[in-house]
Amino acid sequence: MPEMYFSDAIRAALDEALTRDASVVLMGEDIGPYGGAFGITRGLHEKYGPERIIETPISENGFVGVAVGAAMTGLRPVVEIMFMDFILLAADQIINHAAKLHYIYDGQVKVPLVIRAPAGAGRGYGASHSQNLENVFLSVAGLKIVCPATPADAKGLLAAAIRDPNPVLFIEPKALYGARGEVPEGDYTVPLGVARLAREGKDLSIITYGACVPLALAAAGELSEGGLEADVLDLRTLKPMDLTALEATVAKTGRCIVLEEGPLTGGIGAEVSARIGERCFRALKAGVQRVAAQDTPIPSATPLEHAVLPSVAALLAAADRLFE
C-alpha cells in the first residue's frame, strides 16, 4: 500500500466520494480555489466545479442549516467547519435539527450529513482555535461522532461516514495532518462503531482516540522498556462506542488509563470511566486513571501549551499509580 499524509487521505476520501456518488457535495468557507484553511480540499474545486464544491459566507449557522435541508432532500453534504471551535455557532442546527429530524418526522426523512471539524491543539493557535469540543456533543441523541488516528482510518472512516444515513461529526486532529502511513487505494471503508487495538499488552490498558493515540503508543514503548506491556485501544468512534472492545481490554489487563486531549472535567474520559465502572468493576485491580488536558483555556505560547496538554510523563505517572 502507498504511504500518504493524514490530510491527503482525507482528500482522497472526499475525491472518491465525489466521483462515486453525484449526490455528494462539499460546503464550507474558502474550500474552493483556496483549498480550505488546511488545504484539505485543494484541487477539488477545479475538478468538480462550484456546484459541488460550494463556498459559503462566514456564517456557520447559515450554511450548516442549508446543509441539513439539502440532506433532507436527497443530497449528501460534507460540511467543513474551519476550526472546531466555530462549531458552536451551528449548535442549534446540529443538535436540534440534524440529529432530531429523522425522529421528529417518524423516520420519513433522513439527514445523511457529515460535518468535518479540525480540532485540537499543538500549533500555538490559542484558546479559541485549539479546543476539543467532542464532549459537548457526546450526549446528543441521533448524532454519531468519529475521530481517526491514522491516515488509513482517516480515509476509511470518512468514506463510511459519507455513506451513513445519519448525521456524523467527523473530528480531524490538526496535529495529525502531517502524519504519514499506509493507506489502501481505491474504494475503502472502515465500519463506524468498531475500535482498533493499536498495540497488544497484558499488564495495563491505555484507552484513547485521535491525536492521543501516538502519545499512548510512545508511552507504551517506554513502559515496555521497564517490563510492562500495555494494550492501546483506539476507540475511533466515540458514538456509538465499541463497548465490547472496551470490556475485552479491561477484562484482560484489569488496570486502565483513559487518555484524551480535551479537558479532564466532563470529558470523554469521564464517560469511558463510567462505562468501565458499570460493566467491568469486578475485573479491575486498581482504580481507573484519567489523563487529559488541564481545565484551563489552551495558551498560545508553546511551553505553556505543552504544560497544559497531556504528555508521556503524565501517562507514566498514571501507570505508576496503577501499581502502587
CA 14 to chain CA centroid, Å, is 16
- Cα radius of gyration (the chain): 19
* CA–CA gap between residue 86 and residue 151 (Å, rounded): 24
Domains observed in the chain: 3-182 (3.40.50.970), 196-322 (3.40.50.920)
Q: Is the pLDDT of residue 125 over 90?
A: yes
Q: Which of 40, 229, 5 is nearest to 116 (CA)?
A: 40
- Which of 69, 64, 66, 28 lies closest to 45 in space, CA to CA? 28
Which among 301, 321, 159 is positioned nearest to 256, based on CA atoms?
A: 321
206 pLDDT tier (thresholds 50, 70, 90) = very high
pLDDT score of 189: 98
Grid coordinates standing for 253?
489487563
Encode pLDDT of 252-290 as tens digits: 999 999 999 999 999 999 999 999 999 999 999 999 999
Residue 178 burial by Cβ neighbours in a 10 Å radius (0-12, 13-18, 19+): exposed
Active site residue 306: no
pLDDT band at 1 (very low <50, low <70, confident <90, very high): confident
Summarised one tens digit per residue, pLDDT across range 19-75 is 999 999 999 999 999 999 999 999 999 999 999 999 999 999 999 999 999 999 999
Question: Which backbone phi and psi does 78 adopt, to 5 degrees?
Answer: -120, 110
Separation between Cα atoms, residue 73 and residue 49, nearest integer Å: 21
Return the residue matching grid coordinates 462539499.
Answer: 26
Could you say which of 16, 29, 60, 172 is catalytic? 60
Which sign, positive or negative, has the C-alpha torsion 93, 94, 97, 98?
positive
What does pLDDT average to over the chain? 97
**At residue 304, does pLDDT exceed 90?**
yes
pLDDT for residue 308 is more than 90: yes
Tell me if the bond preceding 240 is cis, omega within 30° of 0: yes
Give me the catalytic one of 129, 134, 172, 261: 129
| Contact by Cβ (8 Å): 262, 291 | no
Does the annotation count 45 as an active-site position? no
Separation of alpha carbons 21 and 168, rounded Å: 18
CA distance 299 to 282: 40
Cβ-defined contacts of 91-96 (< 8 Å, 24+): 91/136, 92/61, 93/61, 93/64, 93/65, 93/68, 94/64, 94/137, 94/140, 94/143, 94/167, 94/169, 95/137, 95/140, 95/143
